[in-house]
Structure 1
Amino acid sequence: MFETILSYIIIAGLAVFLFKTRRKPPDKISELFSFRKIAPDGLIDLDGRRFRLVLEVDPINLALKSAGEQNAVWNAFRSAVASLKCNLTLLVQTQYLDLSEYIRQQKAFAESAPTEELQDTAERLVGFFRQKFEESAHRTRKYYIILRHDYTLERNPLISARRKKEEKENIELIARQELEDSRNILTAALSPVGLRITQLTRHEVLQMIYRTLCRQLANIQPIEKADYAEAFCVVSRSATPLIKELLGGEEDFSEEETEGESKKNSNKEALSTRNG
């Protein structure tokens, strides 16, 4: 009897172990898509008192460095990560190489070149890059460090209720301070070895999210043109103010409004005279 019960327990334990659904870890990248707000300096506010800061890293070619320089880079990176107070996510993103801004600058230079030789050189350069850009879609890599801060209130009986209330009121300030401290630690540790770190602004964060969600479209239509075409609007913007401005109806409307107000005032004066 005891052996039968023991065998049942072992079988049940094996079944639970084999068929147990492992919990999938949350995706640290897709959480950026559901942001509550993004500050002008790039601080991302997510639901649940979570804050993120995205840093872009300009890479270096380790293959061109000596063994001692490579060890120095890795040691600097390890010491910087070990010194951080918050968690981080390393993101390597493949994007289409966009040369449209460079081509536009060279085209503007060609139009305002002081000599014909410089103008001819700039035009040939524009034609070369435009042909290369249109023939094949070249790709480039972007390297990001996403600093994560998830606010959790400490359940410590030694902490007073007043201090806990102050922490709740200053959640964003505390998160900003911690994330900026981590950014400064990374910058101070990686800059001497040639790794330049730049904090993304609000516009740059939106561009990164846009390129992540719409990789094919981002190469053809920038985020500014997509926004102008109301690609992100649930309800289309009304064109009535624009039409009124083009037709010059705003002045007529103001004149009609003033005439209507004068008529109302005259009617009120007439009524007050009769009542008097």
Structure 2
Amino acid sequence: MKKIKQWWLKEFESTNSQNDWWERKKQLWKERDAEIVKVKGKGEIFQTLQLEGKTEYRYLLHLTYLIKQNKHFHIEEQVIPHEYRMKNGKVVDHKETKRNVTLEIQPSFITKERDSVLEEERFSYDRRAAVQYAERWWNSYNPAYRIFDVDCTNYISQCLRAGGAPMRGAPVRERGWWYSGSSWSYSWAVAHSLRWYLSGSRQGLKGKELYSAEDLLPGDIICYDFQGDGRWDHNTIVVTKDAYGMPLVNAHTDNSRHRYWSYEDSSAYTPDIQYKFFRIGE
């Protein structure tokens, strides 16, 4: 892929100064006695389009933030798709690319997992293996699995599977949690379905709902309803903690590493956001 020239930072600042997510990101850390002391980035073009006689370039902007929180430092990474056009040798219409947030297999009728098996079945959850997987694949894709346009839940399911979570329910897509290569359960790849599966399952993979993000451990899962409308949109996995013991998470769509759990810096964030915190394996 062709590398973009190093005008990215100036363009990033000027483009995103009009968007409040960048200000919210800085404010998010300021409120936690932290600051972003350094930002580095690299862009790589992945698509060139000819539209009505104009050339449009689409690229992935990989940002790395060095964050200082008291005496503690950590690195956060994020990959954001952008696009721009060239006019008279200058960059114009430089903006974040809007993504299609509708998953092709997402059913409107999926609500809550109803498990006919009342007897609980325990499994040994390897948190370390789940986190190692989350770190290995946060910005790439395991060829053993399909890539979805909205890949957040597929990625989280892979992390859970790497931690030893048992699959069950195949081949019925409305039941259980499973992946077979050519098919998969809705709970494997749809955020709304996984949220209800974790709280409704009584055997194998299940989640114990907690009431504070601070209580989460690496390997646990957070679910997000950005609009607060009862439709769950996103999932992340806790991989580590900040200096005050609050979760930092990894995710796909947008690919993120060691991001503060609350997602207040997300372009999808609204004041009505709702969260569910799930302890896995206990």
Fold agreement, TM-score > 0.5: no
Higher relative contact order (CA 8 A, sep 6+): 1
Q: What TM-score, normalized to structure 2?
A: 0.18
Larger Rg: 1
Greater share of helix residues, 1 or 2? 1
